[in-house]
Copies of this chain bind each other. A is one copy, B any other.
């Protein structure tokens, strides 16, 4: 891909976001995109090639949103980044004259994504890539379920969610995002009960799990100078139950 970009758009600045997304893990790729895209300048061209369906019938899509362009398989990735209303244009990337001359069945990153990104970098308008997409996949994070509960005469919001991400430090992120108007009463996860929201990893004693709001805005559990995943035996998909009181 770098070779194709250097050939077709030698003046473009190429930044690697991550090569550590496990093969075919769309959720993980979506979270990485979510965590990085907002920090790049407007006018960037973001390319994601996480593509369990390569060579199959899945389409390649290009989007315009918030002044930047996005190129990705039509597999729901874009749904992790933006609500539908933020997407100004969506096209089906299908005009073969912008691909490499020979398109392999197995490596569209090199043969389609890279040359198309290079043309966009050189000013080709999005519409030239193919017809408008009328609908596209909008997979997104699993949403927590919510219900109102009464405990000891008081009313609470109960949220049940799950662990959606374990990073290389062993921090485990949930799909729960604290709302401004609620205060945490308790959170149960991996056999433990948290009643306090820490502010930083260093808030816990070494070896002790801390619950906090991670850099993506999600509730996560970490162990100061250790791995929460190992210490608490956590893994992707584990359930979490939170009780919120209205402030």
Of listed A3, A4, A38, A225, residue having the most chain B CB within 10 A: A3
Main secondary structure of the interface of A (DSSP, over half): loop
A10: Cβ under 8 A from any B Cβ: yes
Residues of chain B within 8 A of A38, CB atoms compared: 3
* Contact string against B for A residues 154-188, beta-carbon threshold 8 Å, 1 for contact and 0 otherwise: 00000000000000110000000000000000000
| Given contacts A56-B202, A202-B56, A110 and B6 within 8 Å (CB-CB) | no
Q: How far is the CB of A65 from chain B (nearest CB, A)?
A: 16
B202 touches A168 (CB 8 A): no
- A: interface residue count bin: 35 or more
Binds B, one of A85-93, A100-108, A145-153, A234-242: A100-108
Residues of chain B within 8 A of A2, CB atoms compared: 15-17, 36, 40
A231: Cβ under 8 A from any B Cβ: no
Residues of chain B within 8 A of A6, CB atoms compared: 13, 15, 40-41, 44
Q: Give the B-binding residues of A (Cβ under 8 A).
A: 2-4, 6-7, 10, 13, 15-17, 23-24, 36-41, 44, 52-57, 104-107, 110, 168-169, 199-203, 212-215, 225
